[in-house]
Amino acid sequence: MPAADALQEALDHPCPLTPAHIAAFDETGFIKLPSVLPPSLLDHFRQAISAKVHQLNTQHLPMDQRSTYDKAFLQIMNLWTHGEELRRFVFGKRLARIAAELMGCSGVRVYHDQALYKEPGGGITPWHADQYYWPVSSHRIVTAWIPLQDTPLEMGPLAFSIGSHHLDYGRDLEISDESEARLQQALAAYPVDEGSFRLGDVSFHSGWTFHRAGPNITNRPREVMTIIYMDEEMRLIEPRNKNHILDTARWCPGIRPGERIASPLNPVLYSRT
């Protein structure tokens, strides 16, 4: 097991980005960065993350009795509030700084984190854009997708529709069979980036970038941790759908439309100021 000070150094040490990285993110709506975190660090934190996922999971229906959404993954949110070790991982400055630099903002807050575990035999994750769910005032919100094992195509890694963050169509669709069908047609003109992830690789995608994942046809779970970062100056908007209402209550407690999203659940994780 890595020493505690070595873990913290790896979690916080800056990861240099080039202007080409930022330009690519702006153009495509996502970026996959190799070897961002040491495999030994991810092996260490995978144990704590997986233990908490299994403890908090309430989904016990057989796969053939679940909805398309529930077949896609087990989803456990805000793990950072469930223990110091999990908090330490989510609050690492290395990934937070990458997010801030990609978005061109002075700093970032956490919107929330979530573990997404696609079980053996788990189904597809339909095409969707995350920001449909989020009551936020700008596009400066990004998800870091952090596999906790090598993730070949057979496990269902993320696939990104290149440049689709510029598309207005489909922004009113939640994850469903309908979103998969309608967006397959709408995104046909956009190339798709679909590839495996090695342990240590991390992707970042914009809130309006359409993405999906294939099924997990292996005999082990696809274990992934995600962290959603937003501009430290992000404001809450009036709800535009039922999910905005739910997210406001759950992730932005006490914040009113027009106010900066600075609740106790949204601390600043990195700031240049």
84, pLDDT greater than 70: yes
| Per-position DSSP letters for the chain, written without gaps between them | ---HHHHHHHHHS-----HHHHHHHHHHSEEEETT-S-HHHHHHHHHHHHHHHHHH----S-GGGS-HHHHH-EEEE-GGGG-HHHHHHHT-HHHHHHHHHHHT-SEEEEEEEEEEEE-TT---EEEE-GGGG--BSSS-EEEEEEESS-B-GGG--EEEETTGGG--TTTT--SSHHHHHHHHHHTTTS-EEE--B-TT-EEEEETT--EEE----SSS-EEEEEEEEEETT-BB----SHHHHHHHHHHSTT--TTSB--STTS-EEEE--
165, pLDDT greater than 70: yes
Residue 269 lies in a domain: no
Mean pLDDT of the chain: 96
* 265 CB-near residues (< 8 Å, 6+ apart): 78, 81, 110, 112, 251, 252, 253
Range of the domain at 216: 30-60+70-263
Residue 240 lies in a domain: yes
71, pLDDT greater than 90: no
CA dihedral 3, 47, 109, 35 (to 10 degrees): 70
83, pLDDT greater than 90: yes
212, pLDDT greater than 70: yes
**What pTM was estimated for this model as a whole?**
0.96
Low-confidence winner among 64-78, 98-112, 131-145, 242-256 (lowest mean pLDDT): 64-78
4, pLDDT greater than 80: no
142, pLDDT greater than 90: yes
Q: What is the mean pLDDT of residues 227-256?
A: 98
Q: What is the mean pLDDT of residues 262-273?
A: 96
Q: What is the mean pLDDT of residues 238-262?
A: 98
Residue 100 lies in a domain: yes
Q: What pLDDT score was predicted for residue 1?
A: 53
Q: What is the pLDDT of residues 170-179, one digit of tens each?
A: 999 999 999 9
Residue 53 lies in a domain: yes
Q: How many folded domains does the chain comprise?
A: 1
What is the spatial distance between Cα 197 and Cα 212, in angstroms, rounded to a whole number? 15
Residue 273 lies in a domain: no
Q: What pLDDT score was predicted for residue 19?
A: 97
**Tokens 């978005």 -> residue:** 103
Residue 42 lies in a domain: yes
Residue 2 lies in a domain: no
The CATH code of the domain that includes 190 is: 2.60.120.620
Q: What pLDDT score was predicted for residue 72?
A: 87
Low-confidence winner among 62-66, 79-83, 104-108, 196-200 (lowest mean pLDDT): 62-66
Q: What is the mean pLDDT of residues 139-144?
A: 98
Q: What is the mean pLDDT of residues 155-173?
A: 97
Q: What pLDDT score was predicted for residue 196?
A: 98
What is the spatial distance between Cα 259 and Cα 239, in angstroms, rounded to a whole number? 13
Residue 16 lies in a domain: no
